[in-house]
Amino acid sequence: MQDADSGIRVIPAQGRSAFRHFLRLPYRIYKDDPNWVAPLLRDVKIMFDRKKHPFHLHSEAQPFIALRDGQPVGRIAAVHNRNHVAIHEEPVGFFGFFECVNDHRVAGALFDVVAAWLRQRGLETMRGPASFSTNEQVGFLVEGFDTPPFIMMPYNPPYYIDLTLEAGFEPAKTLIAAHLGQNVPPEYLVRQEERTSERLNVSLRHIRMDEFEKELDRVRVIYNQAWEKNWGFVPMTEDELRFMAHELKPAVARDPELVVIVENAEGEPIGFSLTLRDFNQALIHARGRLFPFGLLKILWHSRNIPWVRVLTLGVLPEYRRKGIDGLMIIRIFRVAASKGINGGEFSWILEDNLPMIKPLEKVGSRVYKRYRLYDRTL
């Protein structure tokens, strides 16, 4: 696609040169932004590698780059997640990996290319950003630009919202992140802990790294059932879960006690929470590169990370509203305190998920960042 009047040309990011532009463009967008954490270039490459990333076994994604006078000024990816279409029975496609200079013509050209690509596949709504689904990074940051993102959370300039709305999108869903600035468990949770455990006859343990593959099977059952009713949720395939788990394994191995599994009296897993140290505090110094010195910087700055992100916390439907989430939260409090962790972030959570937000407010957390997904009718 080419706009003769503006000199903007949008092309598939295929071939070494075009894909290098796709990878490197964010460095231009965020060159003066101290809060941006560059993703590892290796990680972005793998996401679009059809031979390595399991998403491509069931769906497809196409990256694009916008050029003006031969210089990269924007990027985007069109995403056809067939599993989402089948599970939710809605003809929705996605855009993701959006980065753009502050120019509505560039943004409009990028969105129009994705719209055409999705229409060709019979899809009727374009939603995003999502890379590639709600199991990865989703949403534009719309509130809370004053601090860097926690690990695996998105970040963007404020003007992206205006570019998106000007291109004909409307808000679809808002997500929140809650921050907790202390590591002392509330007294009411402490009082309830023993009584809840005995009443329900449940036990808590941390992940067994020597049974990592078997633990993944146990966790996948909980994850896909506990979140299946969430807006936009797409169950992970076995390949996707194992891929993500092995990507996160070094971080999990650093603090396996922060990965909590709840079992019933029969020893069956019924709840699960995943908490990781905020390695973004180390990654921010590497600027996306491991070599030649990025790895050394990451290792140096990751020696003492005092903050964590609680990525997931859920129980099987039949065990909800019984206090099991409180048991997991108090376990996280205790482990974090024993490791010198000062607090952290619960994210992300649907803004209308009050059964999750209310308990977090009771333990002292506060909503400090908001993210939003947008829809555009094709």
pLDDT in tens, 244-282: 999 999 999 999 999 999 999 999 999 999 999 999 998
Residue 198 has pLDDT above 80, yes or no: yes
Confidence of residue 79 (pLDDT cuts 50, 70, 90): very high
Among 34-38, 127-131, 291-295, 367-371, the range scoring the smallest mean pLDDT is 291-295
Confidence of residue 289 (pLDDT cuts 50, 70, 90): low
The predicted-structure confidence for 207-232, as pLDDT tens digits, reads as follows 999 999 999 999 998 998 888 878 99
Q: What is the pTM of this model?
A: 0.93
Query: Which phi-psi region, left, alpha or beta, contains residue 209 (left: φ > 0; alpha: ψ -120 to 50)?
Result: alpha
Residue 69's contacts (CB-CB under 8 Å, 6 or more residues apart) are 7
Residue 75 has pLDDT above 80, yes or no: yes
- At 191 the three-state DSSP class reads helix
pLDDT of residue 194: 81
pLDDT of residue 334: 93
Return the percentage of the chain with pLDDT > 90, whole number: 79
pLDDT of residue 81: 98
Alpha helix (H) residue ranges in 120-167: 159-166
Q: Which pair of structure tokens corresponds to residue 146?
A: 């004053």
102, 68 contact by CB (below 8 A):
no
> How many CA within 13 A on the CB side of residue 347?
30
Cα separation of 117 and 138, whole Å?
20
Residue 19 has pLDDT above 80, yes or no: yes
Residue 288 has pLDDT above 80, yes or no: no
The predicted-structure confidence for 353-367, as pLDDT tens digits, reads as follows 988 898 899 889 999
10, 113 contact by CB (below 8 A):
yes
pLDDT of residue 228: 81
CA angle centred on 246, ends 243 and 249, rounded to 5°: 150
> How many CA within 13 A on the CB side of residue 89?
0
pLDDT of residue 40: 86
pLDDT of residue 294: 62
Angle subtended by helix axes 104-119 and 159-166, to nearest 10: 50
